Amino acid sequence: MKPVRTLYLGVVLISLVGALGFWQTETNEAGDVRSVGEKTPKHKVDPSWPKRLPNGWLLGDIAGVAVDSRDRVWIVPRTRAEAGAPPVMELDSDGNVIQAWGGPGAGYEWPSTSHGIFVDDKGNVWIGGKGDDDHQVLKFSRDGTFLL
């Protein structure tokens, strides 16, 4: 009986090792765990996107990026220069500016440091602030009308 038991345990052990090899994962350069054989996407900057901005606008740091249900890209640049872009910009997938708005207005204070943007399923645009005195979230309609 002993050889049969040994053979049985050997088969079970080999099966477990095979199963573990099937579920094997590894860590990529960024420290993310992924399955072996899964290709990690590679991203690179496209210097021609967005397209040439109107009025000589310059983009500084981008504090947030969102994509809405119409595949429009919304960005919140942190540009404070005289030729800086408006605080909120909507672009089409080709990088053309559709509209731009934002800044101080009636009923709210614009954040001194914008931080993040989100477009919900109704098309409302949410902007976050993270300045020393303005940890807040503001809600606007798609055209920049203040809502909340």
Q: In the prediction, which pLDDT does 29 show?
A: 57
127 and 84 inside one domain: yes
Question: Is 73 inside a domain boundary?
Answer: yes
9/23: higher pLDDT: 9
Burial group, residue 119, by CB count within 10 angstroms (0-12, 13-18, 19+): buried
Number of folded domains in the chain? Answer: 2
Least confident of 21-25, 29-33, 83-87, 121-125: 21-25
Same domain, 134 and 72: yes
Q: Look up the domain containing 109 and give its range.
A: 54-140
The pair of three-digit structure tokens given for residue 66, joined into one six-digit string? 């969102």
- CA geometry: angle at 125 spanning 64 and 147, to 5°? 135
Domain-located, residue 94: yes
| pLDDT beyond 50 at 22 | no
The residue with greater pLDDT, 127 or 112, is: 127
103 and 64 share a domain? yes
Q: Which of 39-43, 64-68, 129-133 has the lowest mean pLDDT?
A: 39-43
Q: What CATH number does residue 103 fall under? A: 2.40.10.500
111 in a structural domain: yes
- Residue 22 sits in the same domain as residue 71: no
Residue ranges in the chain assigned as alpha helix (H): 2-22
Question: Which is more confident, 131 or 40?
Answer: 131
